[in-house]
Amino acid sequence: MRIVFMGTPQFAVESLNAIFKSKHEIVGVVTSTDKPAGRGRKIQQSEVKKYAVINNIRLFQPEKLKDEKLIEGLKKLNADLFIVVAFRMLPKIIWEIPNKGTVNLHGSILPNYRGAAPINWAIINGEKESGVTTFFINDKIDTGDVLLIEKTTIKDGQTAGELHDKLMEIGSKLLIQTISNLDSGILESKKQLIAESQKKAPKLNRKNTKINWSKDDFSIRQFILGLNPYPGAWTLISNNGRQLNFKIFKVKISNIKTSEKIISVQENKVYIGTSTNALELIEIQLEGKKKMHANEFIKGNKNIDQFIIL
C-alpha cells in the first residue's frame, strides 16, 4: 500500500522505520515544524524529520493542518492509508483523504487511558498491564473503531521510560500487522465502548506532576516512576529561606516511619516521610544541578536535615 506517515518523537520513528523497511511504500511524511529547544534555544528538528531526510522521503511540515497546500499535496500522493503515531489531532479534511482510512497507534489498551500521556498514567496508577492499540481515527480523540491490540506486563519498579521503549517496539510490529491485514482485507474493526469510569491520560503539566506527600509510600513511588525520565516528579524544597525545585527520579520504600514531608538522614541515606513508610531517595536533581545519586547529594549538603519540604 501507499502510505503517508504522521508523527514527531522517537516513539514514532520505530514505526516509521518498520513501515519503510516493509513491502509497503512511504510516499510522504508529515511532522512538526522546527522549533527552538533547550537552554540555548537552538532550532531542533523532530526525530521523524531526521529519519525522513536521511531516507529521502517527501516531507511536509505545516504550521496548520488545515493549510490548503498541505491538503492538496496529500491528495496528490494518492495514498491508500494514513498512519499516525504520536502526532497532533487531525481535522476531518485530512483523515478522510485516504480510501482505506487513517490509522492511529496509541500507547494503551483502549478505551482506557485515552489522552496525551497513556504510558505515564499507567505507571502512576500502578497498573499490572499495558499495551498498544491500532484504531481508525474519527472526529474525537482516541475514540475510533479498534483494529488490533497487543498487551504486555508492567514489571514491578518499571519506569515510564522503560515501558515507553517496550511499547515502541511492540507497537511497530502491531502496526505492520494492522497494515498488512488491511491490505489483505481480512481485518474488521470494533467499536469502542466509551464510559466515564474509564481511566484517562491527561497531558502532563506543572500542577499534576507535583508530589503529594500525604499519599502512601507505594502511590508516591509509582508517581515518581511514572514521571521518570521525563518530565520528572517534583516538590519544592527550602534551604535557608531559598526555595528550590527538587526533582526525584528513583526511590525505595523503607521500613522507617517519619512524619510526612520530614527529611532525615540515617546511616548515610536520605529519607522523606509519607503517610505510611518513608521513602529512601536514590536518584534526585536539585534545581540548577545535574541529576545525581542521593550519596552525592549528601556529600555536597552536610545540612540536609535543615532542608524543608514545602
Query: Average pLDDT in the 148-162 region?
Result: 98
Q: Are 270 and 304 in contact (CB under 8 A)?
A: yes
45-64 burial, b at 16+ Cβ within 10 Å, e below that, comes to: bbbbbebbeeeebeebbbee
| Domain shared by 162 and 218, yes or no | no
Query: Average pLDDT in the 92-100 region?
Result: 97
The secondary structure element, H or E, covering residue 297 is: helix 294-300
- What pLDDT shows up at residue 240? 80
Task: Classify residue 15: in a domain, yes or no.
Answer: yes
Lowest mean pLDDT, pick from 72-81, 189-198, 217-226 = 189-198
CATH code, domain with 22: 3.40.50.170
CATH code, domain with 251: 3.10.25.10
CA nearest neighbour of 147 among 195, 194, 182: 182
Query: Please, what is the average pLDDT of the chain?
Result: 95
SS3 193: coil
The DSSP letter of residue 118 is H
Q: How confident is the model at residue 37 (pLDDT cuts 50, 70, 90)?
A: confident
Q: pLDDT tens across 102-154, in order? A: 999 999 999 999 999 999 999 999 999 999 999 999 999 999 999 999 999 99
Q: Are 11 and 164 in contact (CB under 8 A)?
A: yes
Task: Classify residue 271: in a domain, yes or no.
Answer: yes
CA distances to 26, 154, 280, 303 from 299, in Å: 54, 35, 16, 10
Query: Average pLDDT in the 71-87 region?
Result: 98
| Domain shared by 7 and 152, yes or no | yes
* Last residue within a domain, chosen from 150, 184, 218: 184
Task: Classify residue 249: in a domain, yes or no.
Answer: yes
Query: Is it the case that residue 163 has pLDDT exceeding 80?
Result: yes
| Domain shared by 136 and 224, yes or no | no
Cell digits of residue 142: 482516541
| Domain shared by 148 and 223, yes or no | no
| Domain shared by 21 and 153, yes or no | yes
Sign of CA dihedral 104, 108, 110, 115: negative
| Domain shared by 229 and 301, yes or no | yes
Domain assignment of residue 157, given as a range: 2-184
Query: Is it the case that residue 299 has pLDDT exceeding 90?
Result: no
The DSSP letter of residue 190 is B
- What pLDDT shows up at residue 27? 98
Lowest mean pLDDT, pick from 19-28, 75-84, 268-277, 298-307 = 298-307
Query: Is it the case that residue 302 has pLDDT exceeding 80?
Result: no
Q: Are 276 and 217 in contact (CB under 8 A)?
A: yes
CA nearest neighbour of 104 among 70, 77, 144, 48: 144
Query: Average pLDDT in the 224-244 region?
Result: 93
Measure the CA–CA gap between 215 and 222, rounded to whole angstroms.
11
Task: Classify residue 196: in a domain, yes or no.
Answer: no
Cell digits of residue 162: 522503560
Beta strands at 279-286 and 269-272: parallel, antiparallel or unpaired: antiparallel
Measure the CA–CA gap between 56 and 272, rounded to whole angstroms.
52
Backbone φ/ψ region at 275: left (φ over 0), alpha (ψ -120 to 50), beta: alpha
| Domain shared by 81 and 169, yes or no | yes
Measure the CA–CA gap between 19 and 16, rounded to whole angstroms.
5
Task: Classify residue 272: in a domain, yes or no.
Answer: yes
Q: Are 209 and 234 in contact (CB under 8 A)?
A: yes
Query: Average pLDDT in the 212-233 region?
Result: 97
Measure the CA–CA gap between 269 and 289, rounded to whole angstroms.
20
Q: How confident is the model at residue 36 (pLDDT cuts 50, 70, 90)?
A: confident
Query: Is it the case that residue 246 has pLDDT exceeding 80?
Result: yes
Cis peptide preceding 231, ω within 30 of 0: yes
Count of domains for the chain: 2
How many other CB atoms are found less than 10 A from the CB of residue 171? 25
Of 33-37, 135-139, 195-199, the range with the highest mean pLDDT is 135-139
Instruction: Determine what percent of the chain is predicted with pLDDT higher than 70.
Output: 100
| Domain shared by 142 and 229, yes or no | no
